[in-house]
Amino acid sequence: MFNATCVVLSNIAADGGSYSQRGDANFALNQLLSFGLVFTLHLMKDIMEITHHLCMALQRKSQDILNAMHLVSSTTKVLKNFRDSGWDDFLVKVKLFCEQHQIDIPDMNAQYIARRVKSRSHHDEISVVHYYRVDIFLATIDYQLQELHSRFNDHTMGLLVLSTVLDPRNRFMLFKIDDICKLAKKFYPNE
């Protein structure tokens, strides 16, 4: 798909019907062949692969709550593992892709120079590797983890666990009066 897209953009850049069309295609091709875009697309792909099963499970109409909670927990663990120990393998994969497609790889130890900086002090002198690892890789994964935590915090997860006792499947096998009392006390403390 990547190669086919490059060929199409290259053909439009060379033979497009108008100057504007050729310019747009050339710009898009240059962006597509940049390390920054390749890095970002690979990161998006990896994160989407990690979160795919959870997203699909949450979209099902008949969802087992305990299974969904398990998927939230396991997805969080996999994302944390990717954040904590996935950088080296990820960078190798991105560099390999760039080498296979003749995309320039920046010197990772060089000073990072931002293209669009509002003020020079916005980015202190940081290396390219620091920018891609801290400002892109870690920040993106941390944002995903923060979103998972905000949507499935301890309060919400507790409510879901306690509400599973009200599941009519299997004739309320999980029904425990103590859990119902906990649920009532937690959400209706004044009654």
Summarised one tens digit per residue, pLDDT across range 81-134 is 999 999 999 999 999 999 999 999 999 999 998 876 555 555 568 999 999 999
Distances (CA, A) of 29 to 12, 32, 81, 136: 10, 5, 34, 22
Structure tokens at 123: 């980015």
Please report, rounded to a whole number, the percentage of residues in the chain having pLDDT higher than 70.
82
Nearest to 111 by CA among 125, 98, 91, 96: 125
Looking at the predicted structure, is the pLDDT value of residue 179 above 80?
A: no
What is the C-alpha to C-alpha distance for residues 154 and 167, in angstroms, rounded to an integer?
A: 21
List the chain domain ranges: 1-33, 35-152
**What pLDDT score does 7 carry?**
85
Looking at the predicted structure, is the pLDDT value of residue 172 above 60?
A: no
Highest mean pLDDT among 77-86, 111-120, 148-157, 174-183: 77-86
- Confidence at 29, pLDDT banded by 50, 70, 90: confident
Average pLDDT (27-46) is 92
**What pLDDT score does 16 carry?**
77
DSSP state of 112: P
**What pLDDT score does 52 carry?**
92
